[in-house]
């Protein structure tokens, strides 16, 4: 039986069920205030809605599967990951290989006529729609609303006259142009574009890299909330018009100001049951990805002001600590799960593959372990930058220690199991079967996305099949790897890695298990637990 783990002042009965509060980042200050970010992890391009007393948020997932993560909150501060809208990503064969930077870009979620609608773009294929009557699914097979290259960041609006509209942007990398927003009409079902695009705003002169629009209607005005200026350096723009096709007035309603929050933009306006307005957005933190902030919002002269407006000019800046939203009640502290005891027969929602998974890569069990089988990868895959069978999760904050207990039970020489930090630069600590036993090694590749070569450092021969792998991540994303055979005495191996983001995503942390020969019976590795601590 797994032992009680005591971390600082937090005791968690690890065999009792899933962890609900992180040991490394909690936004709720438990005194009526919260600190930003409300989620210090890579939930990029957030969009959110309120349905009754429940808030739901989704984010982009790019090539990671399952995709389109769905989070739930009762108070906009305490968020829990409750599911995914995409179990596998279509086209299935295309996404059986890693498609860095492809897949699901900035999506939108709306609730209409007792159904949840998610519109998401694949920049290489077009705009898709998936629907569900319940937020946890089942979600419908994605329907291609409009095919085309470079159509990104769609958001619908059901107007009061029964018409349905869609606003979206263009990706310069695919379309050959960018920084504009267009509006199109959809059929009444919202499943197909039925009109030509109308250009409603051109950001080239004042708002370069205009993208990520969200469509709303209030007090007779059509509003488009859209970020501009680039993900790490930009600002939050709002456009308004009395006509859905414009012309639209523009106003910058939030920028960095004197705050430490760079590029604050792209997200969702939500209101509470008590009439308060709030705005969820991301901040780009390089290797840590795009983390989620919550800002107060008010309306002045039918323009939103987001954050705090210190000089009363109608433009706000982000807050770092603020009074929690008034939702009529106080709710328990919860966070997105990070540690995992693998004590249930379902894989934890925080885990994602780099591509559509194959059956056999990993199996949950009723025995308190996750069992992974070694995979034979095609010869076309040269480095770990392109491993599809990497099972990984997001960095939970800036500084933490992750430790895993594994049992390595190989059948063939060169079977290799590893704990990895993945990104444009990556490193991993591995155990590998050789002719005379199992050996530790450390592999590091700088700028792997630009064909940077791997360096390998061999370690010692191990005595036990049971091994503890650890990575310590300090601020500035410096990652130090170590291992132990008793869980007490850890030996550092290799030069530290300075993690880098992947293609539009933060660095990730997880496991792979590979082999080099064809066989009808692969070796196994059991992961007993994975724990994230200070």
Q: Contact 187/194 with Cβ under 8 angstroms?
A: yes
Q: Is the pLDDT of residue 283 over 50?
A: yes
- Looking at the chain, the number of H-run helices and the number of E-run strands are 1, 40
Q: Is the pLDDT of residue 17 over 80?
A: no
Domain ranges of the chain: 37-323, 352-533
Topology (CATH level 3) of domain 352-533: Jelly Rolls (2.60.120)
Query: Which class for 321: exposed (0-12), middle (13-18), buried (19 or more C-beta within 10 A)?
Result: exposed
Q: Is the pLDDT of residue 214 over 60?
A: yes
CA atoms within 13 A on the CB side of 495: 9
Is 45 considered catalytic here? yes
Topology (CATH level 3) of domain 37-323: Tachylectin-2; Chain A (2.115.10)
pLDDT score, position 101: 97
d(CA 377, CA 393): 21
pLDDT in tens, 471-483: 999 999 999 999 9
- 214-218 β-sheet, strand order: 214-218, 221-228, 235-241, 249-254
Q: How does 464-474 read in b/e, with b if 16+ C-beta sit within 10 Å? A: eebbbbbbbbe
Same CATH topology for 37-323 and 352-533: the answer is no
Average pLDDT over every residue of 121-133: 98
The model's pTM is: 0.95
Quickly list DSSP for 215-230. EEEETTEEEEEEEES-
pLDDT score, position 15: 33
Is 211 considered catalytic here? yes
Among the listed residues 40, 45, 153, 386, the single catalytic one is 45
pLDDT score, position 19: 58
pLDDT score, position 117: 98
* 3-state SS record for 288-334: HCEEEEEEEEEEECCEEEECECCCCCCCEECCCEEECCCCCCCCCCC
pLDDT score, position 20: 83
pLDDT score, position 8: 33
pLDDT in tens, 37-64: 999 999 999 999 999 999 999 999 999 9
Q: Is the pLDDT of residue 386 over 50?
A: yes
Average pLDDT over every residue of 63-86: 98
Among the listed residues 40, 75, 207, 211, the single catalytic one is 211
CA dist list (Å): 450 to 95, 212, 387, 404, 445: 21, 28, 15, 30, 10
């Amino acid at each position: 039986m797994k032992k009680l783990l005591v971390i600082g002042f937090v005791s968690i009965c690890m065999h009792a069920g899933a962890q609900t509060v992180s040991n490394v980042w909690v936004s709720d200050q438990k005194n009526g205030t919260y600190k930003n970010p409300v989620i210090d992890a890579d939930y990029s391009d957030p969009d959110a809605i309120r349905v009754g007393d429940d808030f739901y948020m989704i984010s982009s997932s790019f090539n990671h599967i399952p995709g389109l993560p769905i989070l739930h909150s009762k108070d906009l501060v305490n968020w829990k990951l409750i599911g995914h809208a995409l179990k596998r990503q279509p086209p299935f064969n295309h996404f059986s290989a890693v498609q860095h930077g492809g897949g699901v870009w900035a999506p939108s979620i709306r609730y209409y006529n007792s159904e949840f609608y998610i519109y998401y773009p694949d920049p290489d294929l077009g705009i898709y729609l998936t629907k569900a009557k319940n937020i946890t699914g089942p979600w419908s097979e994605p329907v291609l609303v409009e095919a085309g290259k470079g159509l990104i960041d769609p958001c619908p609006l059901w107007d009061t006259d029964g018409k349905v509209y869609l606003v979206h942007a263009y990706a310069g990398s695919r379309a050959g142009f960018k920084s504009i927003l267009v509006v199109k009409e959809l059929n009444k079902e919202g499943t197909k574009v039925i009109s030509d695009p109308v250009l409603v705003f051109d950001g080239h002169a004042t708002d370069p890299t205009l993208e990520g629009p969200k469509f709303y209607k209030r007090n007779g005005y059509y509003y488009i909330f859209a970020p501009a200026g680039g993900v790490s350096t930009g600002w939050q723009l709002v456009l308004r018009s009395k006509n859905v096709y414009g012309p639209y007035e523009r106003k910058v309603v939030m920028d960095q100001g004197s705050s430490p929050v760079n590029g604050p933009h792209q997200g969702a306006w939500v209101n509470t049951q008590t009439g308060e307005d709030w705005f969820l957005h991301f901040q780009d933190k390089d290797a840590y990805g795009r983390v989620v902030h919550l800002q107060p919002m008010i309306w002045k002269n039918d323009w939103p002001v987001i954050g705090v407006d210190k000089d009363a000019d109608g433009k706000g800046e982000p807050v770092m600590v603020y009074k929690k939203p008034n939702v009529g009640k106080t709710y328990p502290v919860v966070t997105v799960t990070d540690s995992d005891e693998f004590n249930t027969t379902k894989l934890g929602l925080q885990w994602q593959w780099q591509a559509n998974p194959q059956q056999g890569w990993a199996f949950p069990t009723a025995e308190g372990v996750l069992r992974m089988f070694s995979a034979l990868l095609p010869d076309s895959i040269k480095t770990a930058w392109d491993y599809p069978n990497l099972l990984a999760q997001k960095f939970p904050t800036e500084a933490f220690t992750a430790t895993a207990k594994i049992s390595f039970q190989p059948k063939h020489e060169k079977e290799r199991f590893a704990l990895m930090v993945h990104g444009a630069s990556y490193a991993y600590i591995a155990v590998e079967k050789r002719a005379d036993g199992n050996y530790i090694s450390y592999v590091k590749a700088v700028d792997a996305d630009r064909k940077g070569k791997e360096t390998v450092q061999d370690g010692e021969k191990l005595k036990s099949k049971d091994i503890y792998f650890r990575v310590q991540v300090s601020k500035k994303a410096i990652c130090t790897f170590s291992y132990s055979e008793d869980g007490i005495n850890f030996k550092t191996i290799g030069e530290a890695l300075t993690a880098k983001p992947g293609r539009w995503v933060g660095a990730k942390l997880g496991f792979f298990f590979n082999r080099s020969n064809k066989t009808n019976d692969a070796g196994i590795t059991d992961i007993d637990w994975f724990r994230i601590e200070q």
